[in-house]
Amino acid sequence: MPHFIAEYSDNIEQQADLPALFEKVHSALGDSGVFPLGGIRSRGIRLDTWRMADGKHDYAFVHMTLKVGHGRDLATRQKVAESLFEVITQHFAELQAQRLLALSFEMIELHEQLNFKENNVHEFLKVQAR
């Protein structure tokens, strides 16, 4: 954990540059000191069927979610969320200046007992660092 998910309207697929966004998100989360690098994942979900507002204009949107494991206090989560939203808004600033674009972001803390994981990437990264 954490997992960053970007759901986006199909009409901005090329302009959104999600690989660059994911690189920025991973850097921000890794540099925060809050999350282990081996648990950070990002993915984009293109939405081909959607409607926004009155449907009369070339609207676009990106809704992003950061799912984090249980155990970090609210102040820590809020600091990370605010920092990450700044990265997001900077990434999309040029595109938003050119077209109608709605950005939204939420952080979700997963339930302590109902979140299951198995990951061998952490150990791999430790060995690579030696």
pLDDT in tens, 10-64: 999 999 999 999 999 999 999 999 998 888 999 999 999 999 999 999 999 999 9
Overall number of domains in the chain: 1
pTM comes to 0.88
Helix, strand or coil, per DSSP, at residue 79: helix
The strand order across the sheet containing 102-109 reads: 41-47, 3-9, 61-68, 102-109
What confidence score (pLDDT) does residue 117 get?
A: 77
Domain span including residue 66: 3-129
Q: Give which of 62, 53, 55 is closest to 10, Cα–Cα.
A: 62
Q: What CA dihedral angle connects 100, 46, 67 and 52, to 10 degrees?
A: 40
CATH code of 112's domain? 3.30.429.10
Active site residue 19: no
Q: Which of 2, 16, 105, 107 is catalytic?
A: 2
